[in-house]
């Protein structure tokens, strides 16, 4: 084993949090090492998360649209066939192109990349079990933990990624199952449920709560999302809990029970997708060797500058507090390096957008109506339906609405909630508005190009303080 010089920064984990921090540190002239055990950079997001799921969402949508939504547009197609193997290859090409791109960025910014598994052996030292064999000790003035998260298992259902799958299996099935039960109607359940439903699977989503979409989604928008997804063929069982399953037969049998009233039934499924959330991943990191502990949810505890109780060891991304989102991890990667290098950094946790990439997409930023209500602030709501937006109508894609919540006294925008075409792109304007403390009148008096979907955003803003023009 060779002993390296002490680096300015050693990063454990090459996911979005870790790789962004590494590039930023390189740009700041720091000597930086990033250790990743997966074999490729980009973490969950690039390898088995955001990127592959969006590749499948995009192409399954195209397939579904060609099957069901061309005639009225004056396009006659025949003999449409699914080539699942090629769809998976297209996904793999997107993934490998992007992960290799990060390796290139590491080289460009002078980041040392070590392939292996890191564990703390001291407060300034980690031992790396190298992927190629052997060990290496790496020392750092500062150490950043960015080890991410993993799927929360469902007790009693053993994941084999073939029949009982997590999202990792759901992006890699080699045939279209006839039936799939999804446990958990959050973002993963609805995105991956949409993919397989479009490709021909009969999908049933079992959700413990009374609404879909996971934490944060506005109740009104969630209802609208459920309605459209139902129209697309996805079945929902809300307020329902899964008691357990039997995998011994050809079909998996899941026992479910109504959360209230206790009515029981058994669901048959070829494949069961477990999508009940993710939990921080810190296994094998040797935290006990340096006395670092996690909270009851497995999160590493930090202060507002990402420091653990050992101040030169910081934590960012999915393995600590906050929403488990790639762009949140990315912001923290930049801010953590700035704290180390300059003594200050900044992430506005009140302006982190969420996007669900179903069709139509659902996107939001800031507080939802219930949260505003609970805060006691007086508020007003403006909505505008895409059915009254010229571009959405032109595109024959006009399901959904924009809902804007503004402070009744100051007119400051508190939350933006969109279900509709390209909601994920449209929400950027809402995020910027919240970041800059814009009022709804600021938006309503800003010229938006015609004909674009963004006019729905402007008109929802107008509706909070006056009236929309086109509705
Ligand atoms: P990770 O990406 O999990 O990276 C951590 C890395 O650390 C891993 O590569 C792991 O191998 C490595 N590691 C762990 N322990 C060690 C060790 N001891 N030594 C060396 N390396 C180690 N978010 C979005 O914002 N948009 C989306 O569209 C989206 N889609 C998603 C779809 C799916 C199916 C899933 C599962 C997640 C999705 N997410 C999405 C969430 C997003 O992937 C995460 O929020 C993001 O990856 C978190 O980044 P991270 O760097 O904190 O952790
Ligand atoms: P989630 O927290 O979004 O949703 C989990 C859902 O499962 C919730 O609705 C919850 O009520 C339900 N649930 C929990 N236990 C249950 C049980 N026993 N039975 C039935 N339902 C149960 O989690 P997820 O969908 O697994 O996603 C994990 C993380 O990955 C999230 O933090 C999410 O932000 C992130 N992610 C983001 C994107 C995106 O940004 N587009 C895509 C995929 C994943």
Radius of gyration over every alpha carbon of the chain, rounded to an integer in angstroms:
24
pLDDT at 4: 62
**What is the value of ipTM here, to two decimals?**
0.99
- At 5 the pLDDT is 85
Q: What is the mean pLDDT of the chain?
A: 97
Check: CB of residue 18 under 8 Å from CB of residue 42: no
Mean pLDDT of 22-41: 98
Task: Give the active site residue among 359, 448, 450, 470.
Answer: 450
User: Which atom of ligand 2 is least distant from the CA of 209?
Assistant: 11
Q: Give nearest CA residue, ligand 1 atom 22.
A: 13
Name which residue sits closest to atom 35 of ligand 1, judged by CA. 49
Is 36 touching ligand 1 by the criterion CB < 6 Å?
Answer: yes
Per-residue model confidence as pLDDT tens digits over 63-85: 999 999 999 999 999 999 999 99
For range 294-312, the mean pLDDT: 98
- Would you say residue 251 has pLDDT above 50? yes
Long-range residue pairs from 213-216, CB within 8 A, at least 24 positions apart, any chain: 213/185, 213/186, 213/187, 213/356, 213/362, 214/185, 214/186, 214/187, 214/277, 215/186, 216/323, 216/354, 216/364, 216/368
Nearest atom within ligand 1 for CA of residue 167: 34
Confidence category of residue 414, pLDDT binned at 50, 70, 90 = very high
Pocket test for ligand 2, best of 184, 273, 330, 423 (most atoms within 8 A of CB): 184
Rounded distance between C-alpha atoms, residue 120 and residue 282, angstroms: 11
Mean pLDDT, to the nearest integer, of 26-55?
Answer: 98
- Going by C-alpha positions, the residue among 338, 346, 344 that lies closest to residue 9 is 338
Ligand number nearest CA of 204 is 2
- Summarised one tens digit per residue, pLDDT across range 167-176 is 999 999 999 9
DSSP sequence for 285-348: S-GGGTT--B-TTSPBP--TTSB-SSTTEEE-GGGSSS---HHHHHHHHHHHHHHHHHS-----
The alpha carbon of 318 and the centre of ligand 1 are apart by a number of angstroms equal to 7
- Reported as a single tens digit per residue, the pLDDT across 369-389 is 999 999 999 999 999 999 999
List the residue whose alpha carbon is closest to atom 37 of ligand 1.
49
Nearest ligand 2 atom to alpha carbon 49? 43
Q: How far is the CA of 146 from the centre of ligand 1 (A)?
A: 9
Please, what is the Cα angle at 11 between 27 and 299, to 5 degrees? 125
- The closest-lying atom of ligand 1 relative to the alpha carbon of residue 148 is 53
Q: Ligand 2, from 43, 46, 183, 187: best to mutate by most atoms within 8 Å of Cβ?
A: 187
Query: To the nearest whole percent, how much of the chain has pLDDT over 90?
Result: 98
Closest CA to 50 of 299, 355, 429: 355
Long-range contacts of 77-86 (CB under 8 A, 24+ apart): 82/176, 82/199, 82/200, 84/173, 84/174, 84/175, 84/176, 84/199, 85/174
Region 88-110 average pLDDT? 98
3-state helix, strand, coil in the chain (%, to 5): 35, 25, 40
* Any ligand 1 atom below 6 A from CB of 326: yes
Helix (H, G, I), strand (E, B) or coil at 86: helix
Q: Supply the residue whose CA is at minimum distance from atom 15 of ligand 1.
A: 147
Q: Is 450 a catalytic residue?
A: yes
Ligand 2: list residues with CB < 6 Å. Answer: 183-189, 191, 206-209, 214-215, 241-242, 275-278, 323-325, 355-357
Is the pLDDT at 435 greater than 60, yes or no? yes
Mean pLDDT for the stretch of residues 441-460: 98
Mutate to test the pocket of ligand 1, among 11, 12, 13 (most ligand atoms within 8 A of CB): 13
> Has residue 55 got a pLDDT over 70?
yes
Q: What's the whole-number mean pLDDT along residues 263-279?
A: 97
Cα of 217 vs centre of ligand 1, distance in Å, is 22
Q: Is the pTM of this model over 0.95?
A: yes
Per-residue pLDDT at 2: 52
Banded model confidence at residue 3, pLDDT cuts 50, 70, 90: low
Antiparallel, parallel or unpaired: β 164-165 and 271-274: parallel
Q: What is the pLDDT of residues 335-362, one digit of tens each?
A: 999 999 999 999 999 999 999 999 999 9
* Residue in 22, 39, 50 to alter for ligand 1 test, most ligand atoms within 8 A of Cβ: 50
Ligand nearest to the CA of 102: 1
Whether residue 237 contacts residue 204, with contact meaning beta carbons closer than 8 Å, is answered with yes
Distance 17 CA to ligand 1 centre (A): 8
Angstrom distance (rounded) from CA 200 to CA 213: 22
pLDDT value, residue 185? 98
pLDDT given for residue 261 in this prediction: 81
Ligand (nearest to CA of 277):
2
């Amino acid at each position: 084993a060779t002993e390296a010089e002490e680096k300015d920064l050693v990063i454990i984990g090459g996911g979005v949090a870790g790789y962004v921090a590494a590039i930023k540190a390189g740009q700041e002239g720091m000597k930086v090492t990033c250790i990743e055990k997966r074999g490729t950079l980009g973490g969950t997001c690039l390898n088995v998360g955001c990127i592959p799921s969006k590749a499948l969402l995009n192409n399954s949508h195209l397939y579904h649209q060609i099957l069901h939504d061309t005639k009225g547009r004056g396009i006659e197609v025949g003999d449409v066939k699914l080539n699942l193997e090629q769809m998976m290859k297209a996904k793999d090409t997107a993934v490998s192109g992007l992960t290799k791109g990060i390796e290139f960025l590491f080289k460009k910014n002078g980041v040392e990349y070590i392939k292996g598994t890191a564990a703390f052996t001291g407060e300034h030292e980690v031992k790396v079990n190298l992927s190629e064999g052997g060990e290496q000790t790496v020392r750092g003035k500062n150490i950043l933990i960015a080890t991410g998260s993993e799927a929360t298992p469902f007790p009693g259902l053993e994941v084999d990624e073939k029949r009982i799958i997590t999202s990792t299996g759901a992006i890699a099935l080699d045939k279209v199952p006839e039936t799939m039960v999804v446990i958990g109607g959050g973002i993963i359940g609805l995105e991956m449920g949409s993919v397989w439903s479009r490709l021909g699977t009969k999908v049933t989503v079992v959700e413990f709560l009374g609404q879909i979409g996971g934490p944060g989604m506005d109740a009104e928008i969630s209802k609208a999302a459920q309605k459209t997804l139902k129209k697309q063929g996805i079945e929902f069982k809300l307020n329902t809990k899964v008691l357990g399953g039997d995998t011994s037969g050809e079909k998996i049998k899941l026992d479910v029970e109504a959360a209230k009233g206790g009515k029981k039934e058994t669901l048959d499924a070829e494949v069961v997708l477990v999508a009940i959330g993710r939990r921080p991943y810190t296994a094998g990191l040797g935290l006990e060797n340096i006395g670092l502990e996690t909270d009851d949810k497995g999160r590493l505890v930090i202060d507002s500058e990402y420091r653990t109780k050992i101040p030169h060891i910081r934590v960012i991304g999915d393995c600590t507090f906050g929403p488990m989102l790639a762009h949140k991890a990315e912001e923290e990667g930049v801010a953590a390096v700035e704290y180390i290098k300059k003594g200050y950094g900044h992430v506005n946790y009140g302006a982190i957008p969420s996007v669900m990439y179903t069709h139509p997409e659902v996107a939001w930023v800031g507080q939802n109506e219930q949260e505003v209500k609970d805060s006691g602030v007086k508020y007003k709501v403006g909505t505008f339906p895409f059915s009254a937006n010229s571009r959405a109508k032109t595109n024959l894609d006009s399901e959904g609405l924009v809902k804007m919540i503004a402070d009744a006294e100051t007119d400051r925008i508190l939350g933006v909630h969109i279900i509709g075409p390209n909601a994920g792109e449209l929400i950027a304007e809402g995020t910027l508005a919240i970041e800059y403390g814009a009022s709804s009148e600021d938006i309503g008096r800003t010229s938006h190009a015609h004909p674009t979907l963004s006019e729905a955003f402007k008109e929802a803003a107008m509706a909070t303080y006056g009236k929309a023009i086109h509705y």
